[in-house]
């Protein structure tokens, strides 16, 4: 166990500057291009619903299960008081979860703890698998976790850092687009039961405020995460 712990917590040297920049450009391209975004958006949904579920547990709400759908939507079912701080925090956690996960991943990656990050990712997927209540959700989590495990098991050790950088950049960029999509859909009245609308009913603050709040958190996480991941000395003040 001591050897495993040492292997997990051993800091690794970061990849070359061009690898970091290329991974950022690749993640941005996946998020911006509509076709690749539709194929990968489900990964952001996993983080989104995981944020709801984690906050529900932290606020001691009864978590009944999570469903992931083929249209990249999802729902987290909880039981408890229909109002109050617990319900507000649970509803607010979804849209900010991918960005906050990306920020935490950026901190671990920049510090060289790539193995720790990958282990946490697989562990969170396994924990979430216990809460899934539909077949598509089970398949999605098994495919995601299996792909990560297979990549780290069969690829060269240096490739783990590439995977970590790609995943973190994707979470940071991908955390912003769903919020922009939500804002656009609300203008056309297509999302009357969105998280922002639920929060508006739970609080005295309008849905527009909550969308701004989501964007603010995602924007700050993106800037801070980019600062941590930046390989350029001029951007890393000492």
% pLDDT > 70, the chain? 92
115 CB-near residues (< 8 Å, 6+ apart): 7, 8, 9, 10, 12, 160
- Calpha distance 184→68 (Å, rounded): 23
**Cα distances (angstroms) measured from residue 46 to each of 14, 147, 176, 200, 218:** 27, 15, 15, 24, 17
Q: Give me the number of domains the chain comprises.
A: 1
Residue 9 lies in a domain: no
Domain range holding 203?
A: 16-231
Residue 6 lies in a domain: no
Largest CA distance in the chain: 57
Residues 16-36 have a mean pLDDT of 93
Which pLDDT score, from 0 to 100, does residue 181 have? 94
- Calpha distance 71→216 (Å, rounded): 26
pTM, entire model: 0.91
Residue 88 lies in a domain: yes
Residue 44 lies in a domain: yes
Residue 3 lies in a domain: no
Which pLDDT score, from 0 to 100, does residue 238 have? 45
Whether residue 150 contacts residue 39, with contact meaning beta carbons closer than 8 Å, is answered with no
Which pLDDT score, from 0 to 100, does residue 233 have? 47
Residue 238 lies in a domain: no
pLDDT band (50, 70, 90) for residue 3: low
Residue 47 lies in a domain: yes
- Calpha distance 33→173 (Å, rounded): 12
Tell me: pLDDT of 5 over 60: no
Q: What angle do CA 168, 35, 186 make, to 5 degrees?
A: 80
- Calpha distance 204→170 (Å, rounded): 33
% pLDDT > 90, the chain? 74
Q: Count the Cβ atoms, other than its own, within 10 Å of residue 147.
A: 11
Residue 7 lies in a domain: no
Which carries the bigger pLDDT value, residue 162 or residue 6?
162
Which pLDDT score, from 0 to 100, does residue 156 have? 81
């Amino acid at each position: 166990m001591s050897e495993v712990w040492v292997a997990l917590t051993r800091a690794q040297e970061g990849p070359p500057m061009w690898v970091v920049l290329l991974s950022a450009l690749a993640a941005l391209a996946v998020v911006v291009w509509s076709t690749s975004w539709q194929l990968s958006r489900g990964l952001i949904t996993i983080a989104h619903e995981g944020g709801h579920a984690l906050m529900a547990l932290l606020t001691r709400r009864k978590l009944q299960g999570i469903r992931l759908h083929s249209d990249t939507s999802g729902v987290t079912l909880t039981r408890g008081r229909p109002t109050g701080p617990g319900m507000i925090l649970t509803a607010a956690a979804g849209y900010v979860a991918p960005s906050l996960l990306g920020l935490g991943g950026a901190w671990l990656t920049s510090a060289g703890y790539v193995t720790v990050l990958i282990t946490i990712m697989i562990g969170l997927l396994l924990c979430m698998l216990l809460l899934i209540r539909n077949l598509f959700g089970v398949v999605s989590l098994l495919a995601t976790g299996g792909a990560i495990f297979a990549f780290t098991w069969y690829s060269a050790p240096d490739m783990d850092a590439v995977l970590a950088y790609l995943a973190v950049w994707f979470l940071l960029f991908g955390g912003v687009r769903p919020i922009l999509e939500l804002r656009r859909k609300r203008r056309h009245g297509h999302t009357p039961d969105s998280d922002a609308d639920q929060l508006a009913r739970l609080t005295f603050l309008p849905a527009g405020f909550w969308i701004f709040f989501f964007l603010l958190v995602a924007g700050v996480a993106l800037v801070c995460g980019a600062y941590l991941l930046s390989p350029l000395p001029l951007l890393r003040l000492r």
